Amino acid sequence: MALTKHSSRRRGRAVLRFDRTALLILPLIAFIALFYLTPVFSMLLRSLESGEGWSLSAFRAVLSDGAFWRVMQITMTISLITTVLCLLLGYPLAYFIARTRTSVANILLLLVLMPFWTSILVRTYAWMVLLGRRGVINDTLVNIGLLERPMQLLNTRTAVYIAMVHVLLPFVVLPLYATLKSFDWRLVDAAKGLGAGPFASFRQVTLPLSMPGVAAGAVLVFTLSIGFYITPALVGGPRDMMIAQLIETQVRGFNWNIAAAMAVVVLAAVLVICALFARIVALNPLMRR
């Protein structure tokens, strides 16, 4: 998201000058304006409402609320760790898929995409079945004698990470796969020919050149994580409340302006993080081209 902004701005100029096909994106712009910008704007208005006219009282209440900051911190921590886990697990997989034979690669890509065809709710329930006190994992471990009593798996932070990584993994694998698939592997040959061993050539050539894919995947996973609701609510414990749940409790209590103010703060935080990220990535000479 933050990545395409950078390049599309340059390309956009050329498109407007030379190409009337740019008109074809007008329907999409209209759609986004109607169904995305309008609600965001109305939310912004809500957050400024109070009993008697316009005020910043909702923001004041939210920003001075210790619970809000605690939940914000939990949300950021969970999102960051989920992102890192997804990258660590997804990079080797994407690398392997990009380098293996097409027939194998197609099967693996299918498997990566498979979770997308199941509803997130169903997948979360599946994890509840697996991780529960009398769930498949605990039962098996107790039966083969590794555990004396079932252990607490469900309603822990670990369960949140497992379930979220499971849901979000395709979002890093796909952009990374796309980057690595179009990667010029002769550069690795060149590096080896110049005396760099397998690890050195990965660190100095493959990894830096796949950073656009890493960045795209990381931004996707991170922003999606921040908005997670069902998964932490069902498999997490009481200490794993994420911001979406907090907003939901405000909505349920009809504190619309508080809920809206929270949403605005989160949106602003996400935008700032994406902007910082785009800046870091833009420093990469590859993206400056």
Among 184, 272, 275, 279, binds other proteins (CB under 8 A): 184
**Distance between CA atoms of residues 139 and 93, nearest Å:** 30
Q: And the tokens for 99?
A: 């380098």
Collect all residues with Cβ–Cβ distance below 8 Å to 116 and sequence separation of at least 6.
170
In the complex with other proteins, the residue whose CB is nearer, 134 or 289, is: 289
115 binds other proteins (CB under 8 A): no
Residue that has been written with the tokens 């890093």 in this structure: 172
**Distance between CA atoms of residues 129 and 114, nearest Å:** 19
197 binds other proteins (CB under 8 A): yes
Contact pattern from residue 227 through residue 266 relative to other proteins, giving x for each residue in contact according to CB under 8 A and a dash for the rest: ----------------------------------------
Closest distance between other proteins and the C-beta of residue 97, in Å? 22
**Distance between CA atoms of residues 244 and 259, nearest Å:** 10
In the complex with other proteins, the residue whose CB is nearer, 183 or 228, is: 183
By CB under 8 A, which span of 63-71, 128-136, 192-200, 231-239 interacts with other proteins?
A: 192-200
> From the centroid of its chain, how far is CA 59?
26
Among 191, 219, 278, 281, binds other proteins (CB under 8 A): 191
215 binds other proteins (CB under 8 A): no
By CB under 8 A, which span of 41-49, 108-116, 191-199, 247-255 interacts with other proteins?
A: 191-199
101 binds other proteins (CB under 8 A): no
30 binds other proteins (CB under 8 A): no
**Distance between CA atoms of residues 149 and 142, nearest Å:** 6
How many chain residues bind other proteins (CB under 8 A)? Answer: 22
Q: Cα torsion for 235, 236, 242, 248, to the nearest 10°?
A: 60
| Helix/strand/coil for 55 | coil
In the complex with other proteins, the residue whose CB is nearer, 44 or 287, is: 287
Closest distance between other proteins and the C-beta of residue 164, in Å? 32
220 binds other proteins (CB under 8 A): no
190 binds other proteins (CB under 8 A): yes
Q: Which of 264, 271, 178, 260 is nearest to 219 (CA)?
A: 271
In the complex with other proteins, the residue whose CB is nearer, 3 or 165, is: 3
Phi-psi region of 183 (alpha: psi -120 to 50; beta: other; left: phi over 0): beta
Q: And the tokens for 166?
A: 């499971």
206 binds other proteins (CB under 8 A): no
Burial 121-158 (b: 16+ CB within 10 A, else e): eeebeebbebbbeebebbeebeeeeeeeeeeebbbbbb
Q: And the tokens for 234?
A: 């069902």
200 binds other proteins (CB under 8 A): yes
- Site residues (CB under 8 A) for other proteins? 184, 186-187, 189-197, 200-201, 204-205, 208-209, 284-286, 289
